[in-house]
Every structure is written in structure tokens, then in C-alpha cells.
């Protein structure tokens, strides 16, 4: 294969669908089929870790997996689920050391975004507005109750590493707090509690924004509205979603998303944030999911293009 083959490295067990959008963008931009490799072959500690990766000089790498061998100067990395990122770090380091074109090789930036306790620490350092948050690690009931009281008794609990709004709870009394504590202890997970952002519409529904930032610019904006005030305002948890023009966002929201992305050092990110409480960031997603229609034009095509020689 020629060194101009573009490699698309994603977790093929993921069902999010962004891999296909990236492939569409790659075909459109290069006129060729990208070489799609399963990132699980390059994850240390996984049974499927049979891939090989080797720098061959001059900004190129040789990747070998499932009997396929490709030498390339551009590797698009996407759709690596949060829990698998530590196992993928070794591959990222090899890619970075090889000098291959890739926007997915910054282990530290991924870790800071993926581990939400680290995200909050970074935001505090850089002055990125967020709700007051306390990290808990198998707390005693007294320690959990004390943190809960300190934040005002109306908080959201979430695991330090998670996705899809799973294992996220609105906690407003001590029974819910104890249930959340048991839940995270059973999962063996550290967790965070943060003061409720009061992100309500005039008619009492939750709402928030997802802004995707690429290369310091907001490229996509979506508003989520959740009728259940106790459920995460997240499409997977039943929120509706409306695509907005960037200039339809409330004042300062695009700038806040850009600030959060820059603070974490990510080239691309999907930032979840609310305009209430002065404008606050909930979290930053390393590989935001997006739809095929607008998502290819807004995200996948410019992301893939950034990997190609101009």
C-alpha cells in the first residue's frame, strides 16, 4: 500500500457511529477508501492486543493488525471509549514519537478530560467556570454527608470516568446520597458531587448546550432539553436535541466552550455546558458523538482534513 493511505483507528466494538462519518469524510477528501483498523488491537492488556506499530522514519508508521499491513503518514484516531483510553496510551505515545500526522496522540490532554476530577482541578487552575465540586473516594457516610451539606444539599453525583449519562444521579436528600455512595462503591469507582446548576427553562425543563470546538473555533452547537428535571440532560437519557447556528447560542457560551477546550489542550472536543449560574461547564468529551448529516460537514471533514498535507 502506498504511504498515502489514510488510517482510521477506532474501537470497532463501539456503536456510536462516528467511525462511519469519519470514513465518509476521508473518502470525500482523498477520493480513496481509508484503511480502517480496530483500535482494540493496539490496547495493552486486552486479549485482542495483537497489533504492531513501528516508526519507519520521515513521519511515517507501519501498522499491522489482523494480517493487514499499512504504512502511512496520517492516522485519524476517534471513538475510543473513556474506559479504554489508559490502555490506548502506549499506542498514542508510539504514534507521537513517530512524527505521523495525528490529532489523537496527547495522552495527558485525554486523561485530563476523561477523569472528571482532573478536569475540575484543571478548570480551577485556569479559571474555567464550573459548579463547585467535591471528589469522593469510598467516603464514610459522615464524610459524604459533610460534602453534601457543604455544597448546599442539592447536587449531581457522577462517576469520575463515565459516558452517556450513565450512573449519574440528582441527589437532594440523604437516602439518595447513601444510595449513590453504595452504587459507586459497588462499581469500585471514585465519584464527584457538584452543586446543581439550576439550568431550567422558563417552563421548568432542564436545558443545556453541546458545543463542538475544533482548532479553537466552535463548529457545531446543539441545545438539549430534558423534561425530567432529575435526569441527565443528555440525548441517551431522553433529552431532545436541536441543532443551532453558532450565533444562536446565548452570549459567551461559544467562548466558554473554546476556553474549556484550550484549558485541557484538546484539538477537538464536545463541551457540555449551561448558560445559567453565570455560564458553567459540566464536562468535555474527547470524542463527541455526532450525526451523519451535518456532522460530516461540521466535524468529520475538517477533522480529517487537518491530517492531510495541504
CA–CA separation, 40 vs 46, rounded Å? 7
CB 75 within 8 A of CB 61: yes
The residue assigned the cell 475544533 is 214
Residue from 282, 290, 298, 300 binding ligand ATP (CB under 6 A)? 282
Using CB under 6 A as the binding rule, whether residue 168 contacts ligand ATP is answered as yes
Q: Which stretch, 14-22, 39-47, 84-92, 159-167, contacts ligand ATP (CB under 6 A)? A: 159-167
Phi, psi for 269 (deg, rounded to 5): -160, 155
Of the pair 94, 218, the CB lying nearest Mg ion is at: 218
Residue from 61, 285, 286, 307 binding Mg ion (CB under 5 A)? 285
Find, among 153, 155, 183, 178, the residue nearest to 167 by Cα: 183
Task: State the burial class of residue 142 (Cβ atoms within 10 Å of its Cβ: 0-12, 13-18, 19+).
Answer: exposed
DSSP for 90-120 reads HHHHHHHHHT-B-S---HHHHHHHHSHHHHH
Task: State the burial class of residue 100 (Cβ atoms within 10 Å of its Cβ: 0-12, 13-18, 19+).
Answer: buried
Using CB under 6 A as the binding rule, whether residue 115 contacts ligand ATP is answered as no
Q: Which stretch, 9-17, 92-100, 228-236, 260-268, contacts ligand ATP (CB under 6 A)? A: 228-236
Find, among 124, 190, 162, 199, the residue nearest to 285 by Cα: 162
CB under 5 to 8 A by kind: which of ligand ATP, Mg ion, none does 65 bind? none
Using CB under 6 A as the binding rule, whether residue 92 contacts ligand ATP is answered as no
* 21 three-state secondary structure: helix
Residue from 18, 92, 105, 199 binding ligand ATP (CB under 6 A)? 199
Using CB under 6 A as the binding rule, whether residue 264 contacts ligand ATP is answered as no
| Residue 92 CA to its chain's centroid (Å) | 16
Residue from 197, 257, 271, 304 binding ligand ATP (CB under 6 A)? 197
CB under 5 to 8 A by kind: which of Mg ion, ligand ATP, none does 164 bind? ligand ATP
Using CB under 6 A as the binding rule, whether residue 285 contacts ligand ATP is answered as yes
Using CB under 5 A as the binding rule, whether residue 234 contacts Mg ion is answered as no
Q: What residues make contact with ligand ATP under the rule CB under 6 A?
A: 116, 131, 156, 158, 162-166, 168, 194-197, 199, 208, 232-234, 272, 282-283, 285
Q: What residues make contact with Mg ion under the rule CB under 5 A?
A: 163, 285
Amino acid at each position: 500500500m502506498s504511504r498515502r493511505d489514510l488510517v482510521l483507528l477506532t474501537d470497532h466494538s463501539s456503536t456510536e457511529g462516528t467511525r462511519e462519518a469519519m470514513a465518509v469524510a476521508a473518502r470525500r477528501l482523498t477520493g480513496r477508501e481509508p484503511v480502517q483498523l480496530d483500535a482494540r488491537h493496539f490496547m495493552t492488556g486486552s486479549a485482542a492486543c495483537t497489533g504492531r506499530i513501528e516508526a519507519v522514519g520521515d513521519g511515517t508508521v507501519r501498522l499491522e493488525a489482523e494480517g493487514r499491513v499499512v504504512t502511512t503518514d496520517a492516522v485519524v484516531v476517534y471513538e475510543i471509549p473513556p474506559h479504554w483510553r489508559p490502555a490506548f496510551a502506549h499506542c498514542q505515545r508510539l504514534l507521537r514519537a513517530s512524527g505521523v500526522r495525528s490529532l489523537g496522540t496527547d495522552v495527558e490532554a485525554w486523561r485530563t478530560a476523561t477523569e472528571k476530577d482532573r478536569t475540575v482541578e484543571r478548570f480551577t487552575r485556569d479559571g474555567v467556570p464550573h459548579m463547585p465540586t467535591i471528589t469522593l473516594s469510598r467516603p464514610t457516610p459522615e464524610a459524604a454527608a459533610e460534602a453534601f451539606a457543604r455544597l448546599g444539599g442539592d447536587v449531581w453525583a457522577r462517576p469520575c470516568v463515565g459516558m452517556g449519562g450513565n450512573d449519574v444521579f440528582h441527589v437532594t436528600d440523604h437516602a439518595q446520597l447513601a444510595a449513590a455512595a453504595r452504587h459507586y462503591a459497588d462499581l469500585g469507582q471514585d465519584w464527584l458531587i457538584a452543586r446543581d446548576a439550576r439550568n431550567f427553562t422558563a417552563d421548568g425543563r432542564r436545558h443545556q448546550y453541546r458545543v463542538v470546538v475544533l482548532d479553537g473555533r466552535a463548529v457545531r452547537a446543539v441545545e438539549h432539553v430534558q423534561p425530567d428535571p432529575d435526569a441527565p440532560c443528555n440525548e441517551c437519557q431522553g433529552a431532545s436535541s436541536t441543532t443551532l447556528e453558532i450565533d444562536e447560542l446565548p452570549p459567551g457560551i461559544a467562548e466558554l466552550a473554546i476556553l474549556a477546550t484550550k484549558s485541557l489542550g484538546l484539538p477537538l472536543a464536545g463541551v457540555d455546558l449551561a448558560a445559567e449560574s453565570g455560564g458553567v461547564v459540566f464536562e468535555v468529551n474527547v470524542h463527541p458523538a455526532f450525526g451523519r448529516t451535518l456532522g460530516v460537514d461540521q466535524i468529520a471533514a475538517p477533522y480529517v482534513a487537518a491530517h492531510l498535507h495541504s
